[in-house]
Structure 1
Amino acid sequence: MRTPLRRARVSIPALLCAAALLAGCGTGGTDASGSAPKARTGADDTTPVTITFWHAFTDDREVDAVAKVLDKFHAKYPYITVNAVKGQTDDKINQAVRGGTAPDVAASFNAGNVGGWCSSGGMQDLGPDIAADKVDLSVIPKAVQDYTAFKGKRCTMPWLADTFGLYYNKKLFAAAGIAEPPKTMSELADDAKKLTAYNGDGSIRVAGFMPYMGGYEMVTEHLVTAWGGQWLTADGKSNTSQDPAFAAALTWQKKLVDTMGADKLKAFKTAMAPEQSAQNAFEAGNLAMMVDGEWRTAFIKGDQSAVDYGTAPIPAADDHPELYGSGYVGGNVIGIPKGSKHPDAAWKLVKFLSTDTDALVTLANDVGNVPTTLPALDSPQLTLTSDPHFKTFLDVYKNPHTSTTPAAADGGAYVTNFEPFAEKWQDGGVPDLKAGLAELDKQNDAALSLGS
Structure 2
Amino acid sequence: MSITAARLAAVALTAGLLVSGAAGCTPGEAPAPVASAGVEPSGEVEFWHFFTDREAKAIDDIVADFQAKYPKVKVVVKGGQDDTKMLQAIGAGQGPDVGLSYSTDIVGKFCSSGAWTDLAPYLKRDGVVMDRYPAVVRSYTEYQGKRCAMPFLADVYGLYYNKKIFGEAGVSAPPKTLAELTDLAKKLTVRKPDGTIERAGFLPSFGFYENSPAHLAPAVGATWLKEDGTSAIGSDPKWRELLAWQKELVDWYGYDKLEKFRAGLGDEWGADNAFQKGKVAIAVDGEWRMAFLRDQAKDVPFGVAPLPVTDPARYGAGYVTGNVIGVSRTAKNPEAAWALLRYLTTDTAAIVKLSNGIRNVPTTSDALASKDLVVDDEFKVFLDIFANPGTTTTPPSVVGAAYQEELGAFVQDYQSGKSKDLEAGLAKVDQQINNLVKLAG
TM above 0.5, yes or no, is yes
- Output the CA distance in 2 between the equivalents of 1:326 and 1:22: 36
- Output the CA distance in 2 between the equivalents of 1:446 and 1:265: 34
**Secondary structure of the corresponding residue to residue 252 of structure 1:** helix
Q: CA deviation at 1:233?
A: 0.7
- Which residue in 2 is equivalent to 1:23? 24
Q: Is the 8 A contact 1:96 1:102 kept in 2?
A: yes
**Structure 1 pair 389–116 and aligned structure 2 pair: CA distance change class (3 A):** same
**Secondary structure of the corresponding residue to residue 87 of structure 1:** coil
Q: CA deviation at 1:179?
A: 1.2
**Structure 1 pair 44–307 and aligned structure 2 pair: CA distance change class (3 A):** closer
**Structure 1 pair 260–118 and aligned structure 2 pair: CA distance change class (3 A):** same
- Output the CA distance in 1 between the equivalents of 2:305 and 2:182: 16
- Which residue in 2 is equivalent to 1:67? 60
**Secondary structure of the corresponding residue to residue 155 of structure 2:** strand
- Which residue in 2 is equivalent to 1:334? 325
1:283 to 267, 272, 276: 276
**Secondary structure of the corresponding residue to residue 288 of structure 1:** strand
Matched AA of 1:337 = S
Deviations 1:249-272 (A, max 9, x none): 001101111122222212111111
- Output the CA distance in 2 between the equivalents of 1:334 and 1:15: 16
- Which residue in 2 is equivalent to 1:43? 37
**Structure 1 pair 96–447 and aligned structure 2 pair: CA distance change class (3 A):** same
**Secondary structure of the corresponding residue to residue 162 of structure 1:** strand
What is the aligned length?
440
Q: CA deviation at 1:40?
A: 4.2
1:76 to 56, 69, 73: 69
Matched AA of 1:129 = Y
**Structure 1 pair 338–445 and aligned structure 2 pair: CA distance change class (3 A):** same
- Output the CA distance in 1 between the equivalents of 2:49 and 2:436: 28
Query: Do structure 1's residue 368 and structure 2's residue 359 form an aligned pair?
Result: yes
1:171 to 164, 167, 171: 164
- Output the CA distance in 1 between the equivalents of 2:72 and 2:242: 53
- Output the CA distance in 1 between the equivalents of 2:326 and 2:100: 6
TM-score by length of 1: 0.93
Q: Is the 8 A contact 1:166 1:312 kept in 2?
A: yes
Matched AA of 2:165 = L
**Secondary structure of the corresponding residue to residue 202 of structure 2:** coil
Worse-superposed segment, 106-115 or 44-53: 44-53
Q: CA deviation at 1:431?
A: 2.7
- Which residue in 2 is equivalent to 1:3? 3
- Output the CA distance in 1 between the equivalents of 2:162 and 2:47: 40
- Which residue in 1 is equivalent to 2:258? 265
**Matches of residues 68-147 of structure 1 in structure 2 within 5 Å?**
68-147=61-140
Matched AA of 1:418 = L
Matched AA of 2:24 = A
Deviations 1:308-327 (A, max 9, x none): 1100000111xx22211111
- Output the CA distance in 1 between the equivalents of 2:14 and 2:309: 37
**Secondary structure of the corresponding residue to residue 23 of structure 1:** coil
Structure 1 portions without partners, runs of 5+: 32-37
**Secondary structure of the corresponding residue to residue 156 of structure 2:** strand
Q: Is the 8 A contact 2:220 2:242 kept in 1?
A: yes
Q: Is the 8 A contact 2:132 2:364 kept in 1?
A: yes
- Output the CA distance in 1 between the equivalents of 2:131 and 2:324: 17
Q: Is the 8 A contact 1:410 1:450 kept in 2?
A: no
Deviations 1:163-182 (A, max 9, x none): 11000011111122211001
**Secondary structure of the corresponding residue to residue 234 of structure 1:** coil
Q: Is the 8 A contact 1:284 1:305 kept in 2?
A: no
Query: Do structure 1's residue 206 and structure 2's residue 199 form an aligned pair?
Result: yes
Q: Is the 8 A contact 1:160 1:372 kept in 2?
A: yes
Structure 2 portions without partners, runs of 5+: none
- Output the CA distance in 2 between the equivalents of 1:240 and 1:148: 23
**Structure 1 pair 246–10 and aligned structure 2 pair: CA distance change class (3 A):** farther
2:398 to 396, 409, 414: 409
Matched AA of 2:68 = A
- Output the CA distance in 2 between the equivalents of 1:274 and 1:132: 46
- Output the CA distance in 2 between the equivalents of 1:361 and 1:51: 23
- Which residue in 1 is equivalent to 2:46? 52
Deviations 1:317-362 (A, max 9, x none): 1xx2221111111111110001111111111111110111110100
Matched AA of 1:342 = N
- Which residue in 1 is equivalent to 2:420? 431
Matched AA of 1:274 = D
Q: CA deviation at 1:78?
A: 2.5
- Which residue in 2 is equivalent to 1:354? 345
Q: Is the 8 A contact 2:141 2:151 kept in 1?
A: yes
Q: CA deviation at 1:20?
A: 3.0
- Output the CA distance in 2 between the equivalents of 1:116 and 1:294: 27
Matched AA of 1:46 = E
Query: Do structure 1's residue 306 and structure 2's residue 293 form an aligned pair?
Result: no
Worse-superposed segment, 77-86 or 16-25: 16-25
- Which residue in 2 is equivalent to 1:400? 389
In angstroms, what is the RMSD of aligned CA positions? 1.9
TM-score by length of 2: 0.95
- Output the CA distance in 1 between the equivalents of 2:405 and 2:13: 12
Q: Is the 8 A contact 1:40 1:343 kept in 2?
A: no
- Output the CA distance in 2 between the equivalents of 1:67 and 1:181: 38
Identity level (%): 44
- Output the CA distance in 2 between the equivalents of 1:79 and 1:362: 23
